[in-house]
Amino acid sequence: MTLAASRDGYGAALLDMANDERIVVLEADLGKSTKSCLFRAEHPNRTFSMGIAEQNMMLVAAGMASTGKIPFASTFAIFTERGFEQVRNGIARPNLKVHLCGSHGGIHTGTDGSSAQSIEDLAIYRTLPNMTVMHPCDDLSTKALTKALVEHDRPSYTRTARNKTKRIYSEEQANSLEIGKFSIIREGEDVAILACGVMVSEAMDAADILATEGVKATVVDVHTIKPFDHDALSSLAQKCGAIVSAEDHSIIGGLGGAVAESLAANHPTPLEQVGVKDVFGMSGQPHELMEHYGLTMANIVDAAHKAISRRTA
């Protein structure tokens, strides 16, 4: 079993894209943490360190995009929010091709505590017209999806994680991923578990447990939260009749919110949401916090049984 952090995939992607002279990288004093430092070491003349000035970084990136460059700007997920007004008015509103990466998102970040644990970033960026929002689950999928952004025609926000989790994809499988399309990584007809980020590996473990109980689960990696794959979800709802969402993010406005909106509009189906309830985080080891906030494979198993019982009630 290979363990890796999705932020490493972001850094590897930047290096892989370096032969494209349009690529420029911006940092807000955290290049070592986001892994953009790998690009800076090889291409310092195309890397711009903005210091602790996230708002400025957003608008400098917008200016570069307006001249034909393809900027990749990164910092902690929570600190991208400091520049939200600049992202809204300077990037999303004019639809400039700027790609933001927020690392260290979610409760899984651990000991940094609630002030550094962004549990709302996916929801915030999902509200912006023109913005693509992604949360890949491992290093190889992050690498492949980041590279796909070069030909993407709109701005984006990608969330990555600091801590290592199980690698879900082979390189060949990762390279077949498409922005905006669900990735079904396990098939079953009793319940569909839709997960993103670090929760994908938890969902796979939950599916193993459910299988021992005679429950066959489909597991979906929803690496793209927006644009959302409504057609695929409607098909899964029709096939399984019970849905579970799992995310290391608030259930308000994130993956769970997107799933609920889609089901309500297209194919009403029992849904159970595994995620952070309407609370802030706290400091602790990642596994302790995941248990405290109900973000484990056991919680997904319980949610699956509840969704199935609602379907058959």
Checking if the pLDDT of 312 tops 80, the result is no
pLDDT category of residue 1 using cuts at 50, 70 and 90: confident
**How many other CB atoms sit within 10 Å of the CB of residue 51?**
10
The pLDDT, as a whole number, for residue 31 is: 83
Which CATH number applies to 183-312? 3.40.50.920
Burial call 271-298: b when 16+ CB within 10 Å, e when fewer: bbbbbbeeeebeebebeebbeebebbbe
**How many other CB atoms sit within 10 Å of the CB of residue 312?**
9
**Residues with Cβ < 8 Å from 211, sequence gap 6 or more?**
188, 217
Distance of alpha carbon 106 from alpha carbon 112, whole angstroms:
11
Question: What is the mean pLDDT of the segment spanning 78-84?
Answer: 96
4 and 165 Cβ atoms separated by less than 8 Å: yes
**54 included as an active-site residue:** yes
The pLDDT, as a whole number, for residue 110 is: 86
How many CA atoms does the CB half-sphere of 165 hold within 13 Å? Answer: 29
The predicted-structure confidence for 228-266, as pLDDT tens digits, reads as follows 999 999 999 999 999 999 999 999 999 999 999 999 999
Give the bridge partners for 24, in sequence order: 71
Identify the helix (H) or strand (E) that includes residue 156: strand 156-159
The pLDDT, as a whole number, for residue 155 is: 98
Question: What is the mean pLDDT of the segment spanning 120-134?
Answer: 98
Going from N- to C-terminal start, the domains of the chain cover 3-166, 183-312
pTM exceeds 0.75:
yes
Q: What percent of the chain has pLDDT over 90?
A: 92
The predicted-structure confidence for 23-73, as pLDDT tens digits, reads as follows 999 999 888 888 899 999 999 999 999 999 999 999 999 999 999 999 999
Checking if the pLDDT of 87 tops 90, the result is yes
Q: Which of 54, 202, 247, 272 is catalytic?
A: 54
Identical topology for domains 3-166 and 183-312 = yes
Out of 3.40.47.10, 1.20.1740.10, 3.20.20.140, 3.40.50.970, select the CATH number for domain 3-166.
3.40.50.970
Distance of alpha carbon 215 from alpha carbon 312, whole angstroms:
14
DSSP 105: B
Distance of alpha carbon 208 from alpha carbon 202, whole angstroms:
10
Chain mean pLDDT for the chain: 96
